[in-house]
Amino acid sequence: MSMRLFELMLWAAGKTVLLSAVSIMIGLAIGLMICAAKLSPNKLLSIPATLYVSLFRGVPLLVQLLLIYNLLPVLGIMVPSVVAAVAGLSLCTAAYQAENLRGGFQSVPRGLLEAADMVGMSPWKQLTRIRAPIAFRLTLPALVNEAILILKASSLVSVVGVIELTRMAQNLSASSFRPLLFYSVAGAMYLVICWVVAGGGSLAERMLKTGSRA
Amino acid sequence: MTRPAVTVRDVHKSFGKTEVLKGIDLAVPSGSTTCILGPSGSGKSTLLRCIAFLEETTSGIIEIHGEPLGFADTGDGGRTRLPSSEIRKVRARIGMVFQQFNLWPHMTALGNVTEALVTVRKMKRKDANEIGEAQLARVGLSDRGHHYPAELSGGQQQRVAIARALALEPDILLFDEPTSSLDPELTGEVLNVMRELAGGGMTMIVVSHEIGFAASVGDKIVFLDEGKLLLDGPPSEIFATPRHPRLQQFMETYLDRGAATLL
């Protein structure tokens, strides 16, 4: 493989990382809101949140991407395909992240909040100082897992015309007639990216010291 | 006669259809140590949690230094719920130590002790740390301030929890089975701290199975059975023989589990 082709593959890998990272972050923000809505005693909030989760978890991501890509123009929204791709990935991962976060929030031992209550912390302080930091630590392994899943699932956005790592490998294979080479390189690049994400995750876990009871 | 630190008047508490407290009356004098004994399910922890307002009573009134906690008497036999700002104010006089320590695992020992000083009392970090270090020294842990709870033994964790409660200078300290989740070898260090606090004039209410501690440190023993206050008096009276048959039975059960068989 020439240097120039390798650079093209690297560029595409960078795009895959960027797409996934942005989607994970947006998904985290939406996921937090859905989690809050789902935990709310208000049914007007919790029922739509539950519906959202079951909808986005129940329909294949590939179908979601194709739906969003084709739906936006019908609604009169003209956006580049990369935006549709990020929207699709974000909305989907948000559903999974909302569930992960809910698990984290519900696993914070009640006694830790009672202790916070007894020292006079307001409900808001209890949330920001005790509940959320502990829930986040509990959720971190699942978040890393989800990030890796999204990284790999981002290969699906090639169907809406976004050129990322998988699509680039496909294109170069077709023009060079050397599919094994390009798909192997693409596979290796995915693997390295996932290693980095997993390694970063365990480093973060170690840095955010948690007690054995958390 | 000065007002009792804690007054409990005809308190009932039900969980669903199960009535756990069936009309408790209790007065805890200021500066005294009251030990609540009773078999499992007698309602002793529930009573303590009601005094901490971690549980809301079904009926009855609890007063802290004469001020109603949570619910106030309306004068016509009913009661009215007080605003949460009022509840927080009265509750600020109470500190609580839990069976499971309940230290916040993401904060160091010093962080646990100073957290409320900074976030609730709005103290400067430096001043809070000074108080925190002094309180940790008081429970014999001045060298453990930067350890996380997971790095401490159970006895040390419970002492940090006591320091956390003391940092806010409460008038009344509540202990909910403070040694029940500790290895027997580690109970001594926690009981010693409690003994010192009692000697220093802190008002304490202790729910515990440590009969020896109750007999030697308690100014007042309360024995609960099936949600009712069966006995209430000084240890010399309560533990004097002949004992109330229910207490005798309770003590035998507890001694039976321990060294009594070896004697």
- Stretches where chain B sits below pLDDT 50 are 259-263
Residues of B in contact with A119 (CB under 8 A): 95, 115-116, 120, 164-165, 168
- DSSP assignment of B39-71, as one string? -TTSSHHHHHHHHTTSS--SEEEEEETTEESSE
Q: B87 — contact with chain A (CB < 8 Å)? A: no
Which residue matches tokens 């401490």?
B152
- What's residue A214's pLDDT? 38
Is residue A187 within 8 Å of A170, Cβ to Cβ?
no
d(CA A168, CA A182): 9
Is residue B67 within 8 Å of B190, Cβ to Cβ?
no
Please identify among residues 90-129 of chain B the ones whose CB lies closer than 8 Å to any CB of chain A. 91-92, 94-96, 98, 100, 102-106, 115-116, 119-120
Query: Where in the sequence is the domain holding A100, given as residue range(s)?
Result: 3-211
Residue A79 vs residues A49, A69, B85, B149: alpha-carbon distances, Å: 26, 9, 51, 51
Contact B106 A209 (CB under 8 A): yes
d(CA A28, CA A144): 12
For A93-128, write each residue's pLDDT tens digit. Answer: 999 999 999 999 999 999 999 999 999 999 999 999
Whether the per-residue pLDDT at A147 is higher than 80: the answer is yes
Contact A129 B94 (CB under 8 A): no
- What's residue A117's pLDDT? 94
For chain A, the domain total comes to 1
**Which amino acid would we find at residue A171?**
N
For B141-158, write each residue's pLDDT tens digit. Answer: 999 999 999 999 999 999
Q: Tell me the HSE value of B81 on the side-chain side, using a 13 A CA sphere.
A: 6
**Mean of pLDDT values over A154-178:** 93
Contact B104 A112 (CB under 8 A): yes
Contact B102 A109 (CB under 8 A): yes
Q: What number of helices (H) and strands (E) belong to chain A?
A: 9, 0
For A14-35, write each residue's pLDDT tens digit. Answer: 999 999 999 999 999 999 999 9
**Mean of pLDDT values over A174-188:** 94
Contact A120 B116 (CB under 8 A): yes
Rounded to 10 degrees, the C-alpha dihedral B141/B144/B150/B156 comes to: -10
A211 band by pLDDT with thresholds 50, 70 and 90? very low
d(CA B184, CA B154): 11
Give the tokens for residue B22: 């069936």
- CB contacts < 8 A, A to B, total 75
- What's residue A131's pLDDT? 94
- The average confidence (pLDDT) of chain A is 92
Q: Which is it for strands B172-176 and B33-37: parallel, antiparallel or unpaired?
A: unpaired
Question: In what helix (H) or strand (E) does residue B86 lie, and over which residues does it extend?
Answer: helix B84-91
Whether the per-residue pLDDT at A212 is higher than 60: the answer is no
Q: For position A85, which CATH number holds? A: 1.10.3720.10
- What's residue B142's pLDDT? 94
